[in-house]
Amino acid sequence: MIKASYKKYILNFKNPSGTSRGVLRTKETWFLILSSEGKKGIGECGLFRGLSVDDRPDYENKLHWVCENINLGLDELLQQTIEFPSIQIGLETAFKSLESDHTFELFPSKFTKSEAAIAINGLIWMGTEAFMKQQIHDKIAAGFKCLKMKIGAIDFQTECGLLKSIRKEFTSANIALRVDANGAFSASEALEKLKILSDFDLHSIEQPIKQGQIQEMAKLCAETPLPIALDEELIGIFSSKKKQELLQTIQPQYIILKPSLIGGFKGSDSWIEIAAKNNMGWWLTSALESNIGLNAIAQYTYIKNSKMPQGLGTGSLFTNNFDCPLQVNNGTLQYNKKMGWNFNL
């Protein structure tokens, strides 16, 4: 018999973090804790208010139901939580954790043995020009070979100026540049802006227009001078048939997988399978989880064998995160076995 409980936890940002949806100061998350025969399993349900499809009034009720019915088993619980992707990843992680000999070693690999690292992009948060410039210099000095800059909150000309200044110093052979618009462009202006951005030899742009404009996005992907990556567009699509329809209609160059927002590892697997059939690239990204969720996503990411830089370096943003073996070093995420866990709720 498994016993289950859940707990809400508020993560506090070290610095208010700017996105095109506003400034984030705190991030709510939930932990699912399982116990059976003296063993413990821990999973994080990384709810993202304002972005997750499961940001709904009955969220806590669903968590309560999951705990009451935990002995239905993982497969049945995943079926019953199809509309709650962040609960799904919490369940997958908690069950894997319970089965493991080491609570936080979920996908044993060279990564968890400290023998291999994951290349990641350095994230440049929105803010004043001086603040963004400082972050760019810091990330390059820290050994990052791929930068991801959030755009769409300050003046477009200023953002282009920042990209131009990076390209003056570094070619795309030295530094890959990704930009993330978080849907900030209108459909009518997007192509023009993409043409301007293509001068900076970018790796890709994420979600140039708001999700849900399927035909406009398809047109954009067909005419774009630089690769487009779908991000928010994947949220709330549950069936394989719908996933297939979406990708075949839009034909993006890349898709970005946030397991907490798209149905955990199983959900990510199904998107990867469909992308492969359609010759589309992909990479994985965390979504402001604590180190519990980041650890699970990082271990899963490593075993998927993607050669591209992943979006996994967010664990250091919070003042009250949990100590863990994950370390960012020289533009990579590493698992330092000598470092222990400190998970106290």
**Residues 35-56: pLDDT tens digits?**
999 999 999 999 999 899 999 9
Q: 170 in a domain, yes or no?
A: yes
For residue 280, give both structure tokens: 């589309």
Boundary (domain end) residue, out of 46, 68, 99 = 99
Tell me how far apart the alpha carbons of residues 271 and 243 are, in angstroms, rounded to a whole number: 7
Whether residues 36 and 87 share a domain: the answer is yes
Given 150, 195, 210, 337, the catalytic residue = 150
Q: Identity (one letter) of the amino acid at 161?
A: G
Tell me how far apart the alpha carbons of residues 128 and 149 are, in angstroms, rounded to a whole number: 13
Signed CA dihedral, 6, 84, 64, 103: sign only: negative
Domain with residue 220: its CATH number is 3.20.20.120
pLDDT at 345: 78
Q: Ramachandran region of residue 263, left (φ > 0), alpha (ψ -120 to 50) or beta?
A: left
**Domain that residue 48 falls in:** 3-99
Domain count, the chain: 2
pLDDT higher than threshold 70 for residue 79: yes
Tell me how far apart the alpha carbons of residues 275 and 269 are, in angstroms, rounded to a whole number: 10
**What are 147's strand-pairing partners?**
122, 177
Please indicate whether residue 258 is annotated as part of the active site.
yes
For residue 62, give both structure tokens: 């669903």
- CB contact burial 13-32 (16+ within 10 A = b; e otherwise): beeebbbbeeebeebebbbb
Question: How many CB atoms are closer than 10 A to CB 268?
Answer: 22
Whether residues 15 and 75 share a domain: the answer is yes
Mean confidence (pLDDT) of the chain: 94
This prediction has a pTM of 0.94
Q: 314 in a domain, yes or no?
A: yes
- pLDDT tens column, 173-195: 999 999 999 899 999 999 999 99
Domain with residue 20: its CATH number is 3.30.390.10
Whether residues 145 and 83 share a domain: the answer is no
Whether residues 234 and 285 share a domain: the answer is yes
Whether residues 208 and 85 share a domain: the answer is no
Q: 77 in a domain, yes or no?
A: yes
Please indicate whether residue 242 is annotated as part of the active site.
no
